[in-house]
Amino acid sequence: MNLLIFSIGLLAQGCFSARILTQWLISEKKHEVISPTLFWVFSLIGAYLMFYYGWLRNDFSIIVGQFISFYVYVGNLRLKGVWNKIPLVIRWLLLLTPMIVGMATIQKDSHFVDVFLRNKDVPMQLLIFGTLGQVVFTFRFIYQWIYSSKKQISALPPAFWWISLSGSCMILIYGILRQDPILILGQSLGFISYIRNLMIGYKKSKV
């Protein structure tokens, strides 16, 4: 794997790991499941980098997952009142570049199909499985966004962590079969946090 591509993926996973540790440590301290602002800041930066990692790796499943979740992170930062504090130029850059890259790739129909959907390094069955894993993993944030919008507060309900566990298992298997150290590393680190947040949440609900 190209060193530059690997570095981008590693930096993205570093952001995802930072968000997990930050959220976990704050939740342990407060004895309840917390949705801290830093969780969403690290998520946004990680998704932005991971999107380009997937693009450079010609990996459609990664692109799909990060593209959808990226805008959910923006929505949560809006609920937190943080998004509008970011300089306008940076906000537009963050919002538009994934869309522009995505549309430019799809518009080249034959190129898109050959590179992303007929990638000799990723058999179609594996691509479908990996994409399904990303969809499940991403759905946790769609669910979280719907839940938070109804509550008008950024929150991480128990179902978020159950969906995280399911999607993470699928992506980990995909990463192993794809021999992708970035995916393997990223998903392996999340398991303990997901389980621990479920334990904290259920313990809090019994109090």
Cα gap 67→54, rounded to integer Å = 10
The CA-based angle 107-113-117, given to 5 degrees, is: 130
Token pair 């609920």 is at which residue? 79
**pLDDT tens-digit readout, 101-137:** 667 655 554 555 555 555 566 677 777 888 888 888 8
Per-residue pLDDT, 143 = 93
Per-position DSSP letters for 52-78, written without gaps between them: HHHHHTT-HHHHHHHHHHHHHHHHHHH
Closest-CA residue to 19 (of 1, 34, 4, 3): 34
Dump pLDDT digits (tens) for 44-86: 999 999 888 888 877 777 777 788 788 889 999 998 999 999 9
Q: Which residue has the tokens 């995916």?
A: 183
Instruction: List the domain boundaries for the chain.
Output: 3-206
How far is it, in rounded angstroms, from Cα 16 to Cα 69?
13
Q: What is the per-residue pLDDT for 106?
A: 59
DSSP class of residue 157? Answer: -
Confidence (pLDDT) at 116? 52
